């Protein structure tokens, strides 16, 4: 159970929770039809949106969840291993944790991406990633940057081995909704 790496903001995942929604889904289904990531996000936005007043919460909730769901699917190791998604509501915030397996060779890459979110200026990092994309038209990697700099989403990344020695990452995020 070694090699645990935790990066990011401190987020209370359990205190004063008013309601919870849990689900699991197969990455395979998203790869089969990418629009399903959006369908899941729209569902979560529909489910929780009515708790919040004003400011078009549906569009914001769906946009944020879509980015984190797409990210989890892209970084997953086994397309047949379920991704777990938990959403909790506390006052004017939604807190979510998405847990997926992670291939060993991509852990280093993902850890670096996460560290950059906290060590770099996000505006400069965004511009750099886009300029780099001129050379490498396949890579993007701006989703998490946009979540932090445009949506002020708090994030926490917990890389750990489970009891079956599989690499996992639990991404917890918190968004404030007026």
Alpha-carbon dihedral angle through residues 24, 111, 114, 5, given to the nearest 10 degrees? 80
CB closer to other proteins, 7 vs 67:
67
Per CB under 8 A, which region of 15-23, 111-119, 123-131, 155-163 contacts other proteins? Answer: 123-131
Nearer to other proteins by Cβ, of 109 and 150: the residue is: 150
Query: Alpha carbon of 94 to those of 16, 81, 87, 106, 157: distances in Å?
Result: 12, 25, 7, 28, 17
Could you tell me the smallest distance in angstroms from the CB atom of residue 67 to other proteins?
6
Q: Which of residues 47-66 bind other proteins (CB under 8 A)?
A: 55-56, 59-60, 62-63, 66
Rounded to a whole number of angstroms, the CA Rg of the chain reads 16
| Cα(169)–Cα(27) distance, integer angstroms | 15
> Between 128 and 167, how does the x/- string for binding to other proteins read (CB under 8 A)?
-xxx-xx--xxxx-xx--x---xx----------------
Output 1 or 35, the one with its CB closest to other proteins: 35
The least distance separating other proteins from the CB of residue 1, rounded to whole angstroms, comes to: 33
Q: Which region, left, alpha or beta, applies to residue 54 given φ > 0 means left and ψ of -120 to 50 means alpha?
A: left
Where b means 16+ CB within 10 Å and e means fewer, 119-154 reads: eeebeebbeebeeeeeeeeeeebbbbbebbbeeebb
Q: Looking at 1, 15, 18, 35, which residue binds other proteins (CB under 8 A)?
A: 35
Applying CB under 8 A, the residues found at the interface with other proteins are: 34-35, 37-38, 55-56, 59-60, 62-63, 66-67, 70, 123, 126-127, 129-131, 133-134, 137-140, 142-143, 146, 150-151
């Amino acid at each position: 159970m070694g090699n645990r790496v935790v990066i990011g903001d401190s987020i209370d995942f359990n205190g004063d929770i008013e309601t919870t929604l849990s689900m699991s889904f197969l990455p395979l289904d998203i790869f089969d039809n990418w629009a399903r990531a959006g369908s899941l996000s729209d569902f979560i936005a529909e489910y929780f949106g009515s708790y919040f007043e004003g400011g078009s919460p549906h569009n914001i909730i769906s946009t944020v969840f879509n980015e984190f769901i797409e990210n989890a699917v892209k970084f997953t190791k086994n397309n047949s291993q379920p991704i777990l998604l938990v959403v909790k509501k506390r006052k004017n915030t939604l807190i979510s944790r998405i847990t997926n397996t992670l291939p060993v060779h991509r852990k280093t890459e993902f850890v670096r991406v996460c560290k950059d979110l906290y060590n770099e200026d996000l505006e400069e990092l965004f511009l750099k990633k886009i300029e780099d994309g001129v050379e490498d038209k396949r890579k993007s990697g701006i989703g998490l940057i946009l979540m932090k700099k445009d949506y002020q989403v708090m994030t926490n990344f917990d890389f750990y081995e489970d009891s079956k020695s599989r690499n996992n990452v639990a991404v917890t995020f918190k968004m404030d909704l007026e």
